[in-house]
Amino acid sequence: MKQHSTTTFSLWLKKSKNDLKAAKKLVQKPDPLYDMAVYHCQQTDEKALKAYLVFKNIELFKTHDLNFLLSKCIIIDKSFSDLYDDCELLTPLATEFRYPDDIFEPTIEEFDEALIAANKIYNFVADKLLFV
């Protein structure tokens, strides 16, 4: 198990927060970019969960699968299981709208759902890490 400094987990959390900020900025008028914004919602929580794992000295995996990362967090702290539905919603957003396909862009409602989930997971993890 690789040891990580507290600076490392805090940098992951800072990157996570920056993705959350980016998601919010990308939907500002006059030219909202919902496809890019939902990607940053997913990235917010991928980095937040990785911050927690780094803090707990768990080896990181190259994956966009939030449920996989969440399963690693649940082994350490069962309360993470409350985030399952949010991770289920966000995981496909890592790739779903990034490339041309049948569905080119998410709806405003899909973005709103993604942002709510991203905020929930980010705040959950930040609370765990900022009060240690």
> Is the CB of residue 60 less than 8 Å from the CB of residue 48?
no
78-131 pLDDT, tens digit each:
999 999 999 999 998 877 766 666 567 888 999 999 999 999 999 999 999 986
| Coil, helix or strand at residue 103 | coil
Domains of the chain: 6-130 (1.20.120.330)
**Predicted confidence band of residue 48 (pLDDT cuts 50, 70, 90):** very high
Alpha-carbon span 20 to 42, nearest angstrom: 9
Q: What is the pLDDT of residue 19?
A: 97
Six-digit token pair at 82?
């409350």
pLDDT, tens digit, 9 for 90 and up, residues 53-82: 999 999 888 899 999 999 999 999 999 999
| pTM, full prediction | 0.89
Which pair of structure tokens corresponds to residue 62?
Answer: 């190259």
DSSP state of 78: G
**Distances in whole angstroms, Cα of residue 49 to Cα of each of 8, 82, 87:** 13, 13, 10
pLDDT of residue 103: 62
